[in-house]
Structure 1
Amino acid sequence: MRKLYFFASVLLIACGSQKLAPTTNPVVTESTSGITKVDFAKEENVAKTLKFLASDDNEGRDSGSKGIEKASVFLENMMKENGIKPYFKTYRDTLSNFDKPAYNIVGYIEGNDSKLKNEFVIIGAHYDHIGKIAAVNGDDIANGANDNASGSTAVTEVMKYFAKNKKNKRSLIFVFFSAEEKGLLGSKHLAKKLKAANLDLYIMFNFEMIGVPMQNKDFILYLTGFGKTNMASKMNEYAGEKVIGYVPAETKYQLFRASDNYPFFTEFDVPAQTVSTFDFENFDFYHKPDDEFELMDPKHMTNVVNTMIPVLEIMMNKPTKEITINVK
């Protein structure tokens, strides 16, 4: 997550490659509340992807660096191996607003409804981090496991599900954003590019810092810009239980404007929001070398993914655009 400065205060927030086996099918189970959930993402796969993205070999994934190039190749290969097409000529969307070669990684799954496939849902997370920084106890690599290898890992599992099951009526664009830490540059670039191409965007849904669970909450995720749309209430309706909630820090630190959802909100004027479990109380190593794989909770992350998959599926397949911006 990037740093933003408001009134002189600091605002803070903000996967080896696995090929999906052709015979793999999600196991559907019933929760105690009677809603249908999927048992698709596996903890061992979540952990494997997360560990790679947050490894020292990637040197903190600074945009334009040799380290992030390894992560780029990894994510491209995952898309290719799971039959996800590039949205552009290649998977790489070269940033026009950064002084080093940097790339969003962008894949595409066409919708299966003859009409609704002309409308799009973007699901994304930033895969860059801040690279090497001042050493702490001899460690100068800011691995960015929580920020945001965790969110990127979630996106890999969601895209594998839809690549396998092809249950999306609307078309899906999956994006791993670069240069978020430089000022949302990857998402700003892509939002302008897609707007200029007259993309019919329904919603943008972003994962940010989901590596460790919140404590003493009756929901598993909070939504930035909570009151700006009806997304939270509709997602809870689709889930049949409260899975999305509100935390005061979201408003206090203006987190809605601090991650890759925001450029899509400003360019398209459609619901574009981020889910997170970083609440300023459950993780002490934001932008520090200790943001390591070993401190993450893959079991929690797997639960987040398997909870969100059916909610996202319902949301993207509704015959009308039920998620709307609230009256301003």
Structure 2
Amino acid sequence: MKHLKNILGICLVSLSIISCGTKEIVIKAQEVDDIVTYLASDELEGRDTGSEGIEKAASYIENYFKDLGVKPYFDTYRDSFTVKGKNAFNVVGYLEGTDPDLKNEFVIIGAHYDHIGFAEPVGDDKIANGANDNAAGVGTVLTMAKYFAKTKSNKRSILFTLFSAEEKGLLGSKYLAETLKKENLNLYLMLNFEMVGVPLIDKDYVAYASGYERSNLAEKMNEYAGKKIVGFFPKAKEYQLFYRSDNYPFFKEFNVPSQTFCTFDFTNFDHYHKVGDSSDKMNFDHMAAFVNTFIPAVKKAVNADSKEIKLKPSK
């Protein structure tokens, strides 16, 4: 009876996970905090492409993948290219699908890990730490990688892609998209995460999707989640955000649903490309809830028997 009570207690703690006695796991706020706080620390000096700081960030991501057992997709984790004579590299982890047929189809889960390095000083502070932009997105991708690596619950293969040189004009994602297209990768979806470190205010959804009207992605994600987690944000269309993040090169090369999820609405965070974009401004309880809310929907997308998420005819 004592053991039964212990088991019941564990199940109650884990109600947000789906079920007791399975491999399902929950992402905790501290796990996201650890990732974002390191990547946005002064030690990394704003992770500018080609800098010593972004080298440290790449090594951190590589080690995170190694610890999880997520393999490199290429010969190494680094997908190398150059930007104005400087070495740059995307970091790409690979988790093979468990279904003998569906594993030949791929889902990309991505975020950029570079930032701008330095910004207009405030007092003695000149480091643009890039916590929300976009260490928060990296934290989301890495904790999703943890979930799928631990549960081994992905029928399709997943590439966990962390891009460099986004701030230089989406150069890292452009390079990787072109490389994968030349390899004839069978890409189903590209799901990108950008600036998700603080919650939306007075919205009836958790995040908005850029290019909302281009596919049924939002509709299917809400169906998979059993609640409205993705909404339409008019300013995303007005400012053409679909073309301004790392989803776009994959749409351009593969012509498949490739969209960005974001919680920055231009009113809920005042430190875009400023030295104030630091980890102490992040809401890690929100971030953990965000990841745990999105994982079941992403999992159903990855495991759907057919390609249910589709582009809509262009108008």
| TM-score normalised over the length of structure 1 | 0.89
Give the letter aligned to residue 325 of structure 1.
L
Counterpart secondary structure, 2:287: helix
Determine if the alignment matches structure 1 residue 56 to structure 2 residue 42. yes
Quote the Cα distance in structure 2 between the aligned partners of 1:100 and 1:246.
38
Unmatched 5+ stretches in structure 1: 1-24, 32-37
Counterpart of 1:150 (choices 128, 136, 144) is: 136
Give the letter aligned to residue 72 of structure 1.
A
Higher helix share: 2
Quote the Cα distance in structure 1 between the aligned partners of 2:51 and 2:295.
32
Question: How far did 1:134 drift?
Answer: 2.6
Q: Which has the larger radius of gyration?
A: 2
Indicate the percent of aligned positions where both proteins have the same amino acid. Answer: 55
Q: Summarize the Cα distance change of 1:140–1:97 in structure 2 as closer, same or farther, 3 Å threshold.
A: closer
Counterpart of 2:183 (choices 197, 207, 220) is: 197
* CA deviation string 1:21-55 (max 9, x = no partner): xxxx9x75369xxxxxx651111111111100100
* CA deviation string 1:245-304 (max 9, x = no partner): 011110110000110000000000000000000000100110000001111000000011
Quote the Cα distance in structure 1 between the aligned partners of 2:182 and 2:310.
22
CA RMSD of aligned residues (A): 1.5
Counterpart of 1:287 (choices 247, 257, 273) is: 273
Counterpart of 2:301 (choices 315, 318, 322) is: 315
Counterpart secondary structure, 2:154: coil
Question: How far did 1:135 drift?
Answer: 1.0
Quote the Cα distance in structure 1 between the aligned partners of 2:99 and 2:64.
25
Quote the Cα distance in structure 2 between the aligned partners of 1:174 and 1:157.
10
Which 4+ residue blocks in structure 1 deviate beyond 4 angstroms?
Answer: none
* Partners of 1:145 and 1:293 within 8 A in 2: yes
1:184 corresponds to: 170
Determine if the alignment matches structure 1 residue 246 to structure 2 residue 232. yes
Give the letter aligned to residue 133 of structure 1.
A
1:211 corresponds to: 197
1:22 corresponds to: none
Q: Summarize the Cα distance change of 1:98–1:312 in structure 2 as closer, same or farther, 3 Å threshold.
A: farther
Counterpart of 1:93 (choices 66, 79, 83) is: 79
Determine if the alignment matches structure 1 residue 124 to structure 2 residue 110. yes
2:8 corresponds to: none
Counterpart secondary structure, 1:309: helix
Counterpart of 1:324 (choices 300, 310, 315) is: 310
* CA deviation string 1:131-158 (max 9, x = no partner): 0223122211000000000000000100
Counterpart secondary structure, 1:285: coil
Determine if the alignment matches structure 1 residue 270 to structure 2 residue 260. no
* CA deviation string 1:50-76 (max 9, x = no partner): 100100000000000001111010000
Question: How far did 1:98 drift?
Answer: 4.7
1:138 corresponds to: 124
Quote the Cα distance in structure 1 between the aligned partners of 2:83 and 2:50.
12
Counterpart secondary structure, 2:144: helix
Determine if the alignment matches structure 1 residue 82 to structure 2 residue 68. yes
1:167 corresponds to: 153
Give the letter aligned to residue 321 of structure 1.
K
Quote the Cα distance in structure 2 between the aligned partners of 1:137 and 1:311.
44
Quote the Cα distance in structure 2 between the aligned partners of 1:265 and 1:249.
20
2:4 corresponds to: none
